[in-house]
Amino acid sequence: MRQTLRRNVTAHGFLLGALLCFALFSWYPMIREIVMSFQRTKRGHTRWVGLDNLDLLTQDPAFWQAWRNTLLFTVLALALGFAVPFVVAIVLNELRHAKGYLRVLVYLPVMMPPVASVLLFKYFYDPGYGLFNNILHTLHLPTSAWLNSSDTAMISVVIAATWMNMGGATLIYLAALQTIPGELYEAAELDGAGLLRRIWHVTIPQTRLILSLLLLLQIVATMQVFVEPYLLTGGNGPQGSTTTVVYLIYQYAFNFNNYGAASALGLVLLLVLAAFSAVYVRLSRNND
């Protein structure tokens, strides 16, 4: 045992560094957050309050609105953010020319600082001088209020978020697509399969693993959306239409100085995502 330890002392040394980082910057804050979820601080005195913080949250009308908005964002972001990169990856995979340039073009938005991208879209969406309404106007189509209406604010945020983030997913799909043996497509073609049937019967089954992994990651990421609505609409949006759960956590922590309630909401989000991930993994395993 002692000899094994001595032999691996360097490895253990490196491990200790990583452990220290995780302990200080991940595990400790997580434990602290769980503890604070059940505490409240008033006039310097911190006391245990059981589930009072959760009770306070559920009495806040913004709580349920934030969950509805977050779920709406997740559904819309998946509908666009999951399908669009996949289609783009298929198209890129099929191209014979200018592949490299197009890949760079698709990935370019990911390299832009998020704030710059968001400000760009803010300009595009402006109902007065914005690019989108100018195009619609030129084409004699009805214009939109975009971020200035509770009906269209969320979808506007989703479009901007998809544009900003789709490059990464596209490259991963593309890498997966390129591992599919060409013979499978040739065999399908010989059997008379058209483009859509080839995608359905060859592409999707062959990339199922990567698709399911990205679906899980995207759901976890989209449920934690903060930057895009915060910068595009100031967080709330018209009549609270873009208030998300993470923005509400931010409000409770930094605007209301209620770390207990903010931690409780963070814990609820963690539990929801953990439960979802567990169910998802179980279902995926059963399907396998």
Partner 1 sequence: MNRDRLLRRSVALVAAAGLALTAAACSSSSGSSDGGDKGGSADAAAPLDPNTKVTLSIDCEPPVTKAAERKQWEDDIKEFNKQYPNVTINAKDASPCEEPPAFTAQLKGKTQPDVFYSYFTDLNQVLDEDGAEDISAYVNEKTVPALKDIDPSVLATLKSDGKLYGLPTSNYKMGLLYNRKLFTQAGLDPDKPPTTWPEVREAAKKIAALGNGVNGYGDYSATNQGGWHFTAELYGLGGSMTTEDGKKAAFNTAEGKQVLQNLYDMRWTDNSMGATQGLKWPDLMTQMSSDKLGMYIGAPDDITYMVQTLKGKYEDYGMGPMIGGKGALLGGNDYLFKKGSTPDQIKAGIAWINFKYLTVGKGQFQYSRNKADGLPVGLPQPAFFTGASLEADNKAKAADATVPVANYAPFINTPVPGKTEPANAQQIYKVLDNAVSGVLTDKGAGVDKLLSDAETQVNQVLASLQ
List residues near partner 1 by CB under 8 A. Answer: 16, 19-20, 22-24, 27-28, 31-32, 41-45, 55-56, 59-62, 126-129, 145, 147-150, 233-240, 250-251, 253-257, 259
Q: Which is nearer to partner 1, 30 or 98 (CB)?
A: 30
Q: Are 78 and 219 in contact (CB under 8 A)?
A: yes
Instruction: Give the nearer residue to partner 1 in terms of CB position, either 105 or 150.
Output: 150
- Smallest separation (angstroms) from partner 1 to the CB of 260: 11
Residue 16 or 175: which CB sits closer to partner 1?
16
Residues 6+ apart with CB under 8 A from 216: 277, 280, 281
Do 125 and 156 contact (CB within 8 A), yes or no?
A: yes
Nearest residue (CB) to partner 1, 127 versus 168 = 127
Nearer to partner 1, 257 or 275 (CB): 257
Least distance to partner 1, CB of residue 220, Å: 23
Shortest Cβ distance from residue 129 to partner 1 (Å)? 7
**In sequence order, what are the beta bridge partners of 5?**
none
How many Cβ atoms are within 10 Å of 288's Cβ, its own excluded?
Answer: 8
Q: What are phi and psi of 45, to 5 degrees?
A: -105, 125
Distance CA 38, CA 42 (A): 14
Q: What are phi and psi of 47, to 5 degrees?
A: -135, 160
| Min separation Cβ 154 and partner 1, Å | 13
CB distance 230 to 245 below 8 Å: no
Shortest approach of partner 1 to residue 57 CB, angstroms? 9
